[in-house]
């Protein structure tokens, strides 16, 4: 930071500069640290404590007055429950598909909108609308579109595509399409997630594309490379970093998404994901210990994936 300052100035600085920075830095970050401590670090400790103890909602007023009895029962029950494993599988499938879709669609759109054309600014702004839309509005619109009685999708399907009866998009666990069973509601939820999150991927990839120098591409084109080769050999490798990072962030966020699924299906039609499980354990079953255990197991999966990502990223750096 001092590189910009002329030498004489740096030497002429009052001697207390670094100590003053120390004090001011801590002073300025104190409010942030306080918020983070109360809202994240203490809860993080508590979630571990809760997960290893039998606590229910009715016990809240007595909390802190009695010693904690440590137990593994919450984990034993969760891991012995087939619905836990099913929820884990559903969540992994959901997060993986949504991640691939969101980053893929974002990439295709960013490449398609790369070269300037008239109205590009407007198109770009309009493509961001699904991202800006509040979840509640997006969900209400999708529920209306997919409604069996008056939704436009079913109306078009029955009028023009010859569907024999209305399809319950939001509560059908498996549907046969040309004899192949597909998890219909889960796919609808995945599509919804892609619809709302692809614009963000598009934004990030577009920002990175602006840093790709056109001169290399021109040189390649003059050497006879066709446009597909230029995209796959020159542009995409430069985007690899941002794409990997986006994949990681999207996966982490989708893995824990609650509102979208809860509002769309309330977990019907095989869309019972881990976040919904945590909520059900806490609110419906009033079991704090069990909810905390589910949450902790979720974090374990995420941390494991994060470690894999870091190891992979590091190994790639080593090879290069």
Partner 1 sequence: MNRRRSPLAPSRAASAGRAVLIAVALILAIGPVLYGVLLSLRPYSAVVQNPLDVIPSWEELDFSGFTTAMLDEADGGFGLGRFVLNSLLIALGTVVLSVVVSILGAYAAARLRYRGRGAVNAIILGVYLFPGIVLSVPLFVLLARAGLTGSLLGLYFVYVATTVPVAIYMMRNYFLALPESIEEAAIIDGASLPRMLRSVVLPIALPGVVATAIYVFMIAWNEYFYALLFLVQDRTLWTAPLGISQLTDFNVPVTVLLAGSIAVTLPVVVLFFLAQRYLVDGLTSGAEK
- Stretch binding partner 1 (CB under 8 A), from 75-83, 143-151, 171-179, 312-320: 143-151
Closest CA to 257 of 65, 125, 28, 91: 91
Distance of closest approach, residue 174 Cβ to partner 1, in angstroms: 25
CA distance 190 to 99: 9
Binding mask 102-121 for partner 1 (x = CB under 8 A): ------xx--xx-x------
Distance of closest approach, residue 177 Cβ to partner 1, in angstroms: 20
| Interactions with partner 1, residue window 32-71 (CB under 8 A) | 32-33, 35-36, 38-44, 46-47, 50, 55, 60-61, 63-64
Distance of closest approach, residue 138 Cβ to partner 1, in angstroms: 8
Secondary structure class of 128 (helix, strand, coil): coil
| Interactions with partner 1, residue window 256-275 (CB under 8 A) | 256, 258-259, 262-263, 275
Burial of 287 per CB tally in 10 Å (0-12, 13-18, 19+): buried
Distance of closest approach, residue 179 Cβ to partner 1, in angstroms: 28
CA distance 40 to 186: 31
Among 92, 93, 145, 167, binds partner 1 (CB under 8 A): 145
Q: What tokens does 119 get?
A: 């109205």
| Interactions with partner 1, residue window 215-244 (CB under 8 A) | 217-218, 221-222, 227, 230, 242
| Interactions with partner 1, residue window 151-170 (CB under 8 A) | 151-152, 154-156, 159
Q: What tokens does 120 get?
A: 């590009």
Closest CA to 185 of 264, 111, 244: 264
Q: Is 125 in the site for partner 1 (CB under 8 A)?
A: yes
Exposed e or buried b per residue across 48-65, where buried means at least 16 C-beta atoms within 10 angstroms of its C-beta: eebbbbbbeeeeeeeeee
């Amino acid at each position: 930071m001092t590189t910009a300052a002329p030498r004489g100035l740096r030497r002429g600085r009052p001697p207390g500069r670094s100590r003053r920075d120390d004090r001011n830095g801590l002073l300025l970050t104190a409010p942030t640290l306080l918020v983070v401590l109360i809202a994240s670090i203490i809860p993080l400790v508590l979630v571990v404590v809760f997960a290893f103890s039998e606590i229910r909602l009715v016990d809240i007023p007595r909390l802190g007055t009695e010693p904690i009895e440590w137990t593994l029962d919450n984990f034993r029950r969760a891991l012995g429950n087939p619905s836990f494993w099913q929820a884990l599988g559903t969540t992994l499938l959901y997060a993986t598909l949504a991640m691939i879709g969101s980053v893929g669609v974002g990439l295709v759109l960013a490449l398609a909108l790369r070269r300037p054309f008239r109205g590009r600014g407007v198109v770009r702004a309009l493509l961001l609308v699904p991202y800006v839309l509040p979840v509640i509005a997006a969900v209400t619109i999708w529920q209306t579109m997919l409604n069996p009685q008056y939704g436009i999708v079913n109306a078009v399907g029955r009028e023009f595509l010859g569907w024999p009866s209305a399809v319950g998009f939001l509560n059908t666990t498996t549907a046969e399409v040309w004899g192949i069973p597909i998890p219909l509601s889960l796919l609808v939820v995945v599509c919804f997630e892609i619809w709302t999150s692809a614009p963000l991927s598009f934004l990030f990839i577009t920002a990175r594309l602006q840093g790709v120098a056109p001169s290399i591409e021109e040189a390649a084109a003059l050497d006879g490379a066709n446009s597909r080769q230029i995209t796959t050999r020159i542009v995409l490798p430069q985007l690899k970093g941002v794409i990997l990072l986006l994949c990681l962030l999207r996966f982490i966020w989708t893995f824990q998404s609650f509102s979208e699924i809860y509002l769309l299906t309330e977990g019907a039609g095989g869309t019972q994901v881990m976040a919904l499980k945590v909520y059900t354990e806490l609110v419906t079953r009033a079991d704090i210990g069990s909810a905390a255990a589910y949450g902790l197991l979720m974090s374990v999966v995420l941390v494991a994936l994060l470690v894999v990502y870091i190891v992979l990223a590091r190994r790639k750096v080593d090879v290069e």
